[in-house]
Each structure stands twice: as structure tokens, then as C-alpha cells.
Amino acid sequence: MFGEYSVDVLRQGIGEFIDQWAPQLRAHAGTVAARKTEVSAISAAKLAALVPPRPSGLCTGCPERPFFAAMKILQKEVGALHISADIGCHSFATLPPFNMGNSIMGYGLGAAGASAFGTDGGKRAVAIMGDGGFWHNGLTSGIGNAVFNKHDDLTVIIDNGYSAATGGQDILSSRAASLQRQGNNSIIDAVKGVGVKWVRRTNTYDMRGTLKLLREALSTQLRGPKVIVVDGECQLNRQRRVRPLMRKSIQDGKRIVRERFGVDPDTCTGDHSCIRLSGCPSLTVKENPDPLRSDPVAHVDNSCVGCGVCGEVAHAAVLCPSFYRAELVYNPSRWDRLIGRIRIAVIGALQRRSERNRLRYAL
């Protein structure tokens, strides 16, 4: 009712265009083209009852996910903060499971918006922008303005290497080499160039390091704007680059090792704090293997890209130790096969011993 495009709206519009300008395309469709395919309100209601709603969110392995998980942990320590969000992938953090982002003023205006806000108790406002928004106008309207007016706030610049939200186009700080463009320009140099004194850099997947810097930025006695640049390449662009190379190497018979993570169902308590703090699409649930426990356990499906965020979140939040890291070896060597057989034999022996002990105690 708000006028958004839907499948039916697009189908009708394209159909009318074809009927007017290319009716010959309908010739091969026969009666199929005239078939009414709109979804009725009753059918849509039945579908909604079966399929749970899923808000838009960050991609599997997104480097912005661990940062927002760290922010969520931080706010449990220091209380609510005013978070000035920005246009881009990171605006999804305003939705579950993070639910953070009090205002969005416009592309690259996160820091400018934060300049007018603060939270109760004199807490510093936190502005978040991406590298695309930073180069668009965040450097001038946000960072430069904060220096000029001596704003005592914190700006976090998420450097994922591209203008990721609009398709992964290169920007001034992109690392890719180009004959036509001057890339690889430093965000930190630009920030320092307009006068920011307190500047730090961290890797987004290092949640403990990120938490340490966030605590320092919000508690330091230094007055004036503070900037943290959080590094982590857009996972979609990274997979577009890495996967074809990996497939080719596997086809060529080269030894390739790929990491992925999983959850031990026997250790998982069914608390699901990992899902509430991360929300990664590869994190889901499955039936509990323990017949005495009814709560489903967490599960990592095959869409996992091995970024490690789920395990990192669990450790940073001091959650259960049920996550494990596995290495998938393609075209294994003889040594890999030997080590694999030894591991299987040792683990099998330990499992058999554990089962014997369990039966002994049960009797």
C-alpha cells in the first residue's frame, strides 16, 4: 500500500510494455502469458503463517557483523549510546539482532548527525559510516566539521574496500590496481590531514581488539573528535575474487585448505546467544540430539565462509565453547591422508571408551 515494487507490479508493467512494443514475444507463450499469477491475499496470509519473517541483514561473513556485535556487548557495559547511523550496508544494523542506529541523516552524514546529539550522562555520541560515505562527503561535512567545531564524539569508519552497498564499485581507498584511477588512498592519512589527533585502526574480525579501542575512545580524557577505522574486506567481493581461483586450483589438482566452523551439538546448551549477538545467515538451529533436552541446538550450515565471527562472538561474550574450527582439505597429500586416518582411529577409540563408561555407569 506504500507503492513498493513487487513481483506482481513488475510482471504487470513489463507485460504491458511487451504488449505495446513487442507483441511478437507473446506468440510463443500461448495461454501461459495470459494466466493470472497474482498471489491472492488469502494465499499470502497462509504463506506468511508458514514462513517466518526475515528482515534484511548483513551477508554471511560480512566484516561489519563482528563490529556491531562488539557494540552490542559494549552497550551492556556502559549503557545505551546515541548511534548516528549512515546509508550503506551498515544501516542494516538498525534491524534485529543489533537494533542500533538512532538516526540516519543521509549518505556520509553519520558524523554530521552525531554532532547534534549525545546521550544522558554526558556519554559521547558514536557515528558510523562506511568508506564510501566517508569519501562521498563524510570527510568534509563530518570529520572536518568535527575538527573545526571541536566535537567530542567518536566516528567509526568501516573500511570494507568498496562502495559495497551499491554493488562493490571501487572507491578512493580500494586496493585494486587500475590504469585509469588513483586508488589505495589512505583513510587514516585523510583524517589526520584535516586535523584529527586521536586516530586508531583495528581489524573488524578482532572483536577483543575492537572492544578495547571502543572503551578507550569513550573514556579517554582527550577532548575533540576521535576516529576508529575498522578494516575488513566486503565478503561478497572477496568471494567473487577467491572462489573462481579456488575452483580452478581444485580442478588443477592443487592442495587447497578451506576453513569452516561448526557447533558441537553435544556441547551446545541451546541458549542461542551466538545467534542473538551475530545473526549470521549461516547460523541456524536443528533438533537436539539429546532425547532429554527439547531446546534446539545451534547449527552452522554449508553457506559458512569460515570468517570465524560466530566463534569470535562466543568467546568475546564469554559464551559456551561449542564452536569448533574445521579444515576442509581438497586434493589431500599422502601425509594428509595418513594424519586423517590416525585422527579417525584415535577419536573412534576415545568415543568407544566413552560409550563403554556410559553403559557401565548406566548399569
DSSP characters over 304-361: -----HHHHHHHHTT--S-EEEEEEEES--HHHHHHHHHHHHHHHHHHHHHHHHHHHH
Asked, as a colleague might, if the bond just before 97 is cis with ω within 30 of 0, I would say yes
Domain ranges in the chain with CATH number 3.30.70.20: 253-362
pTM, two decimals, is 0.76
Query: Which range, 91-100, 117-126, 289-298, 319-328, has the best average confidence (pLDDT)?
Result: 91-100
pLDDT at 17: 92
CB contact set of 61 (below 8 Å; sequence gap of 6+): 235, 239, 280, 282, 304, 305, 306, 307, 309
Question: How far apart are alpha carbons 47 and 42 in whole angstroms?
Answer: 9
Q: What φ, ψ does residue 80 adopt, rounded to 5°? A: -65, 140
pLDDT at 147: 94
DSSP string, 196-217: --EEEEEETT-HHHHHHHHHHH
Question: How far apart are alpha carbons 68 and 81 in whole angstroms?
Answer: 13
Give the mean model confidence (pLDDT) for residues 98-116.
87
pLDDT at 31: 45
In this structure, the dihedral spanned by the alpha carbons of residues 178, 163, 276 and 321, taken in order and rounded to 10 degrees, is: 10
pLDDT exceeds 70 at position 2: no
Give residue for cell 585494486. 176
C-alpha cell at 178: 587500475
Q: Which helix (H) or strand (E) holds 14?
A: helix 7-21
Class of the CATH-defined domain 64-236: alpha beta
pLDDT at 156: 95
pLDDT at 284: 84
Distances (CA, A) of 343 to 3, 6, 265: 59, 53, 20
pLDDT at 34: 47
DSSP string, 101-170: -SEE-STT-HHHHHTT--BTTTBPPEEEEEHHHIIIIIIIIIIIHHHHTT---EEEEEE-SSBGGGT-B-
pLDDT at 47: 74
Domain ranges in the chain with CATH number 3.40.50.970: 64-236
pLDDT at 54: 67
Task: Give me the numbers of helices (H) and strands (E) for the chain, helices first please.
Answer: 12, 10
pLDDT at 320: 66
Q: What φ, ψ does residue 204 adopt, rounded to 5°? A: -60, -30
Distances (CA, A) of 345 to 269, 320, 327, 330, 350: 28, 27, 18, 21, 9
How do residues 203-242 score in pLDDT, each as one tens digit?
Answer: 988 888 999 999 999 999 998 999 999 999 888 888 888 8
Q: Collapsing DSSP states into helix, strand and coil, what is residue 64?
A: helix
pLDDT exceeds 60 at position 99: yes
pLDDT exceeds 50 at position 83: yes
Max CA pair span of the chain: 81
Q: What is the CA radius of gyration of the chain?
A: 25
253-362: in CATH 3.30.70.20: yes
pLDDT at 199: 96
Measured over the CA atoms of residue 240, residue 243, residue 245 and residue 247, the dihedral's sign is: negative
Q: Which helix (H) or strand (E) holds 286?
A: strand 283-286
